[in-house]
Structures are given as C-alpha cells and as structure tokens.
Structure 1
Amino acid sequence: MQRHGWNNRKLELEVTQNDRLPGFLRALAKANIPLKKMKTTKHHVTFQTTRKHLPVIRKLRRKYHMKMTIDWLDEEVILRNEWLVHIGLLLLIIVPLCASQFIWSVDIDASTPEQEEELQKSLYILQISPPFLKSKLPDETIIRQQILQDQRELSWVHIHQEGSNLTFSPIPSPKLETEIVEKEQPSHLIAKKSGVITHFNLTKGERAVEENKAVYTGDLLVTGILKQGEKEIVYGAEGEVFADYWIEASFTLPRTIDYKVPGERHYELRWKKDKVKKGDDWQNVKLPKWLAKYVELSVTQQSTTKQLKLDEQSVEKVLLPLLHQKYVNELPSKTVMKREKLLQVAIDNDTVKGKVLFLVNENIAVKQVIYQGD
C-alpha cells in the first residue's frame, strides 16, 4: 500500500519548446501516459502526471533530447523516497556524530597575555592543538602536572570540557611580599628536606650532588667553595635546588559539604570619577591610555554555592583538587604538586575519613654559612 501510494504521487513537468516537442508528446501518448492540465506558453509546455510514469518519461526525454524540470505537487510528503534523500539523511546523522568525537576549540582563560602564551607552550608540548580526537586527550592529571611544572607561578589549573570545547583557567599562586635582604655571608646550600633531586637553578656555586639522586635532610647540595689546585676560594652558593618528595595527608570531613564554584564573569564599564566599591572586582582590564583617562573596565565574578554528598568517586574527583590547592597554598612559591594518590577512604553516615599522598616538587635548598674562622 505504501509503495502504491508513492507511485501515485502527483508531479508537474515543464518541457522547453523546440521542433522535437510534437514527436515527444506523441511518444508519451503512445506509451499511454496521461497528460493532465496541459498548458502551452511561448517557451514551455506544462502538464501533470504521476510518479509511476516517470521512468518512461525520462527515457523518452533522453531520446528526443528535451529539456525538462520536475515539480512535486504533493506537499504533504516531506522526504522523498530517492537515493539522494537517503544519502542526505545518512550524512545528517553521520557528520554530527563524527564531529562530536573531536575537540574543535581550546580556550585559555588567562588573566594576562604572557600567562596565556606560556600556557599555549605547555599545551603544544602535550600536543593539545585542535582539532583532535577526544580519545587522544591526555588524562587531566598529566595535563595539569605538565602545566604546573612549566609554570611554577600557578597554584592550580581548572580544566573544563563542554561538548567539543576545552577551556583552561589557570589560578596564580598567592603573591608573597619580597623582603629586602642585606648582604649575607658566603654560604653553602644544604637540603632542608629529604627527596630526589630533579633540577638545579643556580647563579653561583658548584653542584655537590647529581640529578635523580636521593638526598637527606642536612646533605650538602651546592658548595660555595671553589678549589683551584690546592687553593680554596670562598665564593658562596646562590640559587634553587628542586627535589621530589611525598606528603601524606589525612582528612576528616562531613559527608555532606557546601562548596563554592566560580560563576559567570560580568564586565562593567564606568567613569573614573564615579566612586564605587571595588571589593567584587576580579580584575581590571587594561585599556588604551587615551581611553583609560576617562573610564575603567572591570571584571566581576560571583561564586555559586553548591552542596555535595561525598562518596568514593566524588572524593577522588572533587575533594582531591581541593586538598591539592589547600596544601600548595601552604607551601613555598614555585612548589608544584606533581601527582596525588588516594590511599584509603572510610565513609559512614555522617563522616568521610581518608589519607592521600601528594608528590611534591619543591626547592629544598637552604643556606648554611661557611665558617671562615676569626
């Protein structure tokens, strides 16, 4: 029944006038093809028929070399049972499905152009450059570890994926007040903690240990005494020595916690003469000098409070980043949390307890004055 209804669909044909038109019309009549509502103009002949006659009409059109257009009259039928329609529908399904498997754009929500440029370099090392398959995206821990290791002025990086868009929001470490240090006596650099040396950043001194070697508290890392034959020159050591070590942390939390997440950013343009409270300003946007004389453009961002009931999965996905940021803020600047590992979690009705290990990379060098006698 469906096929019969399809064949009886009405269509209108428009044939261009030429000297072969009479022979074409006679051939149609001879083939018992009904030609309804025929109209003749100076340049065209139009008539109506049904779809079941279309193969014969097309065969005769090619025989007589006629120019012809077809208009479907049954507007209720949206999709035609034709191979072009089938291919179009197939592409309509396949193309979005394939496109959804890719990351098409990567945004960096940095506070300064310099920070954005440095972050782009880290992403280039990780081969995060769109477009690429979502399955090729490295684990968030690996991405964050590389970024924090490259940019030690950052304390954390939020990674947000929405559809085919990936957004990185770096969070700078708290700024520490710099102290004016008087001229010091020449010193060695020794280890204030045990760890495995990863790299040096020295301005003076000679290494006493090699990279990838384990050192213990009090070990000499960089000597400030240079030897020239039998002569010793007290030169002093200056710089940083970074090492990996593990921190074990315990936590006890209520099972249901309230936490805040950053909300949408809002831009506000105001005249400089207006007196307003700037407590909610997240940052000021740098404007051209001629414009900055008159107006200020600031960004405000309000946080949203959410409630979460903790389980083992949410502890790993939500709590670990919060603990990460808490501990890194308590450590010296340029310290990087390279890895975190959940050791154990115990959940009862009201409380969540557990232990977590953090792999920390920190400058473990402290100065030890070189005693030169009286």
Structure 2
Amino acid sequence: MLDIQLPPILLGRVVVECRGIKLASFLNLITKANIRVYDIYWVDEHRLKMTVLLSEFYELVKLMKQNQVRMRILHKSGLPFYMEKAKKRKWFYVGAILFLFSLYGLTSFIWNVDIEGNKKIPASQIQNILKQEGVFVGQWKRRLPDTVLLQENLLRKMDDTSWVGVRTEGTRMIITIVEKKVPEPNDDQAKIREPVHLIAKKNALIYEMKVDRGNPKVKVNDMVKKGQILVSGIYGDGEQNNTNQIAGAKASILGEVWYESEIEIPLVQKKKVYSGYREKGRFPYVFRFQLKNPFFSPPYKQYEQIQQIDRMRVGNWELPFGIIEEQYLEMQWVRSQLSEEEGIKLGLEQAKLELLADLGEGSQIVAEKILHHRQENGKVYVKVHFDVVENITEKQPIFQGE
C-alpha cells in the first residue's frame, strides 16, 4: 500500500514558541511519541521555536502539559485555517463568486447593436432585417449567425448598399453600411437650377473647353478674370429681347491657375518604427476604476498603447462597469538627419500634398518650380510655385431681363 504524504500547506501547520527548563529532554519525548516537528530554532537556553502539523498539534499540547512546558502560538497557516476564515466571511466570497458569474454572463450577450454609415436607409429598416437574421439586443453570442453569411444576407436584402461590414467588439455588434453613391454636385452650385451662365470662379488661363450647351464667350489660351462669363446661357444678339433664346449653359472648362506655397521642414526627423509585435490585455472596470492586475507591467520598453472600452449596456441603459481592452504595440523612436537637398525634396512633396488636399478631386499639378530656399536654425524653408489645372466654372443664375 502506498504511503502518500500531503504537503504541509494542505494539512495545516502551526508555529509555536515553547518555554521551559528541560527543553532538550522535552524534544526527546517528542521524538519517542512520533510527533513530527521541524524548523526547530533555539531562541535562548529556555526558549525554542518549532513548527508542527495541525493533525499532531493537540498531541504536542498534551505532552507539554505533562512536562510543564508553556507554549505560545506565533503563526498558523495552511488550507484548514483558510477554510475556517472563509466560513466566517462566506457571504463575501459568495458575493464575489456571484459577481464574477454575473459579469461572465453579461459579457456572453449582445447588449448594443450600432449601425453606422447609413444616410438614406432608415436605421429601423436595418434593425428589422437584423432581427430576422437573429441579431438583436439580448441575443446570446453563441447563437449569432456566421459573420460572412450575415454580410451576404444583409447585402442581398438591401438594394441601396454596395458593401456591408459586421464586427463584434465585446458585447457590442457594429454594422457598417456603405450606400451606393448617386452622382450629384458637391458644391453649393448644385442649388442653382438651370438656366444659368457659367462664370470663372478665379483668375486663370483657359486650358481646355468642352461646351455641351450655351454660347461660348472665351476660347482656349484666353486669360479670364474671376466673375467673367465663360459660357452664356442666352443665344441671340442681345439687342432685342424677342430674338434671345434662354437655353442655359452646360460645359466642362479647365483652367490653369497659379499658386505659391511656403513650407518649413526640420532637418532632424523623428518617426515611429513598429516591430510588428503586439500584446493584448483585458481588464474589468467599475465606475471610473480599472481593476488591473497589480503585478501587470507593459511587455515592451517602448510601446504605443491603444485602449478600447467595451461598455456594458442593457438596451439604451449604460451600466457602470465593463471591459477595457488594451493593445501594446512595440515601437521605437528613430531620428534621422536630412541633408539640405533631402529637406527641399521632402518640403516639395509636402507642399504638393497640402495643395491638392485643399483643391479637392479633379485638380492636377502640371508644373512646379522652387522659387527660393534657405537653411536656418536646423530647418529648410522652401517657397514653391505651382501650375495647376482645375475646374474653374461656377454657376450664375440668368436674371429676368438679360
């Protein structure tokens, strides 16, 4: 038969201090009684400390009484003592366990369905379709349909969509809708209905003209000023009103416009370089307090932290607790020294990007020239001239009597 001995931490152990005159003979009696003691430490001639198992502690007490040895308990440890403490605080532990189970249970359901990107399709219509597919507030996560299948079904049931995205973040499901675009003018000129004149919205050199309707007043390579009529919406000689025909103007006119940009570039560039390694951590929070592991430390020396809060919701009600997911992206700052030539090149590219961003779609830089540059205080200052081809037309209503 195997003699299996459990570790002392499971059996329970007691550290005691013994006082008496004949402690050496007392230790001999302990050995004869087969009482297991260890970590014996002599404090002085009449005092010693020792550790005894809880199962043999009461035998040791009897032996002490028989030999007039006094005892003082210094420390108690082990599973039996932990269990005794737990009995006294059982409702605390019961509450903690119930809280953890409740937290786990709440995170197993979808408490919020967010729809983003829809402008023309009513949210109520999308919610009805989602409900038909088994996606609604209070749905168990394990019963959610397959993401790819859900995307295909939503795209099939909504004719006005060109793409549908589905993602789940904790207890939140996010539906991203990309609606089909209907071509329409972007600017305020769309509010002006024909018939109209087409006028120049800025000084320019006419680069290209395609007139579909109207009476052209300029031609390619003409210089025009802001507000000048490019294509008139009126046919006729203009002397007698009864000979004029108002048809409205429609044309595509590109003009060459000149711009100057000034930009400064530091010669010492500092940028982040990511290693590609990342770690994630999930921590609960209650109210404004994050319940983070006190022994947790970021896994990298240099990192960028991305934090995402998953709030618990019941319908439209936001609960005061949830989960915070933190991502740690390993990175390091790298400094590089640019030459003056490299600084000028970088400044030119940056000036082009800024100019095109201001002008919008359809604009094209056809020529560029550096007018001036200088290096001063660790920076390069660049002044650039740009020739840009862009749409220069603007609508102007035809007023009565023209």
Task: Please confirm whether the aligned pair reaches a TM-score higher than 0.5, indicating the same fold.
Answer: no
TMscore range, shorter length: 0.3 to 0.5
TM-score of the pair, normalised by structure 2: 0.35
TM-score of the pair, normalised by structure 1: 0.38
Larger radius of gyration: 2
